[in-house]
């Protein structure tokens, strides 16, 4: 098999559905060997019938699980060339006074510490093997400015954007590039309830109408952006957050929040 990624070893976290599943299958379709990693059993479906994809269950926010993932890539695939750190959770749209510290800790664990662990352990394996590589983290337009997600989710994704910038600098001279994609509204497991509700009301055509392209995105479109950043075509792109949102972030629509019933001191 030939393709842009022939002979490459790839790890994709959050590969149980949506963007992660599309990304794992795109890389495999272009010649890579892939470990699809997710806590959910959906990762088995991602790998089903795909001879170049192996499923692995685990928690992207757990240091031990991520170390085991990278070790499996080194052992079974001969190393790791590309990592798509895609795992994430939304935490819902609860407001600042509705979320708890525990809510924040869980969201940050998966959405921000998870990409850190992927970069930390993945880059170490690349450096030890003396091979260049590419790491792509999934951030969000919610990390660019307010109005596209809940407080904890938005803060976690802003952290991812800064993380890739910082990591790119920290890895100077190693040949390892670190970038991010910032999706807008895309039909994934995270947004499925929104899509289902719109369809149930016969308003599917309204999905994505707040962006200039006037539609929601497809997981494959994000997978293509991730593959581009991983490829030699992006060899001079490093520490960058690529926005893939149909133009939504050119002007985030924003609803004025209701008055809060809190006591001021």
pLDDT for the residue 216: 82
How do residues 115-166 score in pLDDT, each as one tens digit?
999 999 999 999 999 999 999 999 999 999 888 789 999 999 999 999 999 9
Other CB atoms within 10 Å distance of the CB of residue 131: 15
Asked if residue 196 has pLDDT above 60, the reply is no
Helices (H), 63-218: 63-77, 101-108, 114-129, 151-170, 192-200
Query: Is residue 99 in a domain?
Result: yes
Query: Is residue 251 in a domain?
Result: no
Catalytic residues: 153
Query: Is residue 155 in a domain?
Result: yes
Query: Is residue 159 in a domain?
Result: yes
How do residues 199-233 score in pLDDT, each as one tens digit?
566 665 656 567 788 888 999 999 999 999 999 99
pLDDT for the residue 191: 56
Work out the average pLDDT over 84-99.
91
State how many domains the chain has: 1
- Quick one: what percent of the chain has pLDDT higher than 70? 86
Query: Is residue 67 in a domain?
Result: yes
Distances (CA, A) of 185 to 67, 194, 243, 249: 31, 10, 12, 11
The answer to which of 36-45, 74-83, 142-151, 193-202 has the lowest mean pLDDT is 193-202
> In the chain, what are the helix, strand and coil shares in percent, each to the nearest 5?
45, 15, 40
Asked if residue 263 has pLDDT above 50, the reply is no
Give residues with Cβ within 8 angstroms of 170, minimum separation 6: none
Query: Is residue 213 in a domain?
Result: no
Query: Is residue 202 in a domain?
Result: no
Asked if residue 77 has pLDDT above 70, the reply is yes
The range of the structural domain enclosing residue 70 comes to 9-188+220-243
Query: Is residue 182 in a domain?
Result: yes
pTM of the model: 0.90
Q: What is the CATH number of the domain that holds 34?
A: 3.40.50.720
Integer Cα distance of 17 and 138 in angstroms: 14
Integer Cα distance of 57 and 239 in angstroms: 29
């Amino acid at each position: 098999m030939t393709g842009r990624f022939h002979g490459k070893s790839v790890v994709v976290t959050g590969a149980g559905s949506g963007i992660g599943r599309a990304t794992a299958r795109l890389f495999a379709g272009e010649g890579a060997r892939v470990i699809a990693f997710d806590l959910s059993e959906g990762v088995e479906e991602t790998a089903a019938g795909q001879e170049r994809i192996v499923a692995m269950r685990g928690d992207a926010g757990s240091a031990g699980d991520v170390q085991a993932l990278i070790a499996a890539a080194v052992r079974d695939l001969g190393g790791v060339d590309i990592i798509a750190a895609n795992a994430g959770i939304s935490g819902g749209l609860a407001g600042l006074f509705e979320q708890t510290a525990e809510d924040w800790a869980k969201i940050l664990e998966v959405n921000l510490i998870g990409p850190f662990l992927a970069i930390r352990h993945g880059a170490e394996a690349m450096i030890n093997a003396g091979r260049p590589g590419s790491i792509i983290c999934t951030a969000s337009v919610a990390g660019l400015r307010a109005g596209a997600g809940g407080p904890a989710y938005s803060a976690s994704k802003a952290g991812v954007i800064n993380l890739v910038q910082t990591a790119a600098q920290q890895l100077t001279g190693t040949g390892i590039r670190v970038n991010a994609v910032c999706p807008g509204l895309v039909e994934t497991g995270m947004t499925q309830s929104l899509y289902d509700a719109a369809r149930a009301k016969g308003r599917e055509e309204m999905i994505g109408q707040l962006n200039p392209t006037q539609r929601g995105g497809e997981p494959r479109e994000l997978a293509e952006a991730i593959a581009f950043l991983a490829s030699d075509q992006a060899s001079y792109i490093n520490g960058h957050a690529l926005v893939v949102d149909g133009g939504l972030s050119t002007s985030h629509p924003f609803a004025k929040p209701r008055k809060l019933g809190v006591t001021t001191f």
